[in-house]
Amino acid sequence: MNAVTILLPVHRAGAELDEAFASVAEQTQAPGEILIVLNGSDEATRQRAMALHAPGIPTRVLELPEANLAGALNLGLAEAKTELVARMDADDRSAPQRLERQVEAMRERRELVALGCAYAVESAQGRHLGAVRPPTDPGEARWRLLLGNVFAHGSMLLRREGVLGAGGYDERKLRAQDYDLWLRLSERGACVGAIPDTLYTLRRRGEADAFASTPEQGEHAAVSLLEAWDKLDPARDERARRSLARVLTRTEPDRARREIESALGQRPTREALQAWLLSAHTSPPMPGAAHEMCRRARLREVGRELQTLGVDSVTLWGAGEHSAWVLAHETDLGVEIQGIVDDAPGQGVRFGFEVGSPETLRPGQSVLLSSDWHEDEMWSSSAEARDRGVLVWRLYRSNDHLRAIRSRAG
């Protein structure tokens, strides 16, 4: 038998399941078997799964009456006939070389128990939204996991005995089961890592939250994260302290932060992790001057777009500190700011303007979303205004939706 079992759980699925199945069935290194686990699925999903077939690859369908993703995964691990088990999600895609490259890496690096890869993020309509590159070094991955999950669950190749030896997936976890497992594996000294190749495509239903988690996922992940923090070595870490002191005095802060990262890669301690977080806050990756230059350049670019369309005034959507910054750089924008609206009622006067409600915006009125953290959320909440004909401009994303207006203006 070939070296890998594909473990593909499914709850409710449509045509995406066919595409996901095909992507693992057509690998350059064929899997030894494909296990589809119906996770509390309805009859339509069951019939779709039963119809899937790959020539020369044994395919079995297992069923779990009540939905529990961790339970479905544990069932698949127990039933797998190979030591290596590749995860796959029912609405994602694997590149043709995924198994070949991951299996080769696992054979070369016997210390690895779980191996991911770089992955692309795509909208439901097939639009590329970005890419994520998890750490390839297990030492770095161990401490990076103490700050959040960096791996796509469906992209992982697992050593079956190593995962089961750590207790498998925790069936009490209704969400973030994978993150909990990576933390427990790392705590036991089992290595988790990745290869740099982009071999997986993660499909997201909504573009605005493509890189976010649901509140329920966040709650479960937070519990696992804090439990992992509680188990960190609380001993004094003099190396981390010396490096942090240099960060705080601005003495080669980037080099000092790399020293903290090196210490974390060797042995994560509570003090070293706290030192890294403080260093990241005190000396962010992009220097303040460079960040300001980029923001102002983008403000000027959007201002030129507005002027090309003959727009001579805009209303800001957002009453936060970002609007104070935009007002301070109104000359960069090049058009007059005539007011502020905000989703939250009762703002009163902010930055010299009486904050209004989005309901007061008129068709044809130009509005500029003003937030560096919440622009995607504002874009979603502006749907009703856009439907009424309000021209909503984005500062940090493309304004392709207004190209038709530009064409008419020309």
User: What CA–CA distance (Å, rounded) separates 257 from 365?
Assistant: 47
Give the per-residue pLDDT at 210. 46
Output the six-digit token pair for 30: 């064929």
Output the six-digit token pair for 264: 């974390």
Neighbours of 196 (CB within 10 A): 12
378-402 burial code (b ≥16 CB/10 A, e <16): bbeebeebeeeebbbbbbeeebeeb
- Residue 328: exposed, middle, or buried by beta-carbon count in 10 A (0-12, 13-18, 19+)? exposed
**Average pLDDT of adjacent 10-residue blocks, the chain of 410 residues:** 87 90 96 96 94 94 93 96 96 96 95 95 83 90 94 97 95 92 92 94 67 74 91 88 85 84 90 89 65 88 91 93 88 92 84 90 94 88 93 90 58
How far apart, in Å, are the Cα atoms of 168 and each of 247, 265, 349, 351?
Answer: 40, 25, 56, 55
Give the per-residue pLDDT at 405. 57
User: What CA–CA distance (Å, rounded) separates 31 from 85?
Assistant: 9
Give the per-residue pLDDT at 1. 45
* Domains located in the chain, CATH noted: 4-230 (3.90.550.10), 238-282 (no CATH), 289-409 (3.40.50.20)
Count CA atoms closer than 13 A to 388's CA, side-chain side: 14
φ, ψ of residue 9 in degrees (nearest 5):
-80, 150
Give the per-residue pLDDT at 282. 74
Give the per-residue pLDDT at 284. 61
71-93 burial code (b ≥16 CB/10 A, e <16): bbbbbbbeebebebbbbbbbbbb
Total H helices, total E strands in the chain: 17, 15
Place of tokens 């190396």: 239
User: What CA–CA distance (Å, rounded) separates 304 from 74?
Assistant: 56
Residue 327, SS3 per DSSP: helix
Output the six-digit token pair for 182: 């990576």
* Amino acid (1-letter code) at residue 211: F
How far apart, in Å, are the Cα atoms of 11 and each of 52, 63, 89, 180?
Answer: 15, 10, 10, 21
φ, ψ of residue 278 in degrees (nearest 5):
-65, -40
Name residues whose C-beta falls within 8 Å of residue 190's C-beta, 6 or more positions apart in sequence: 113, 114, 162, 166
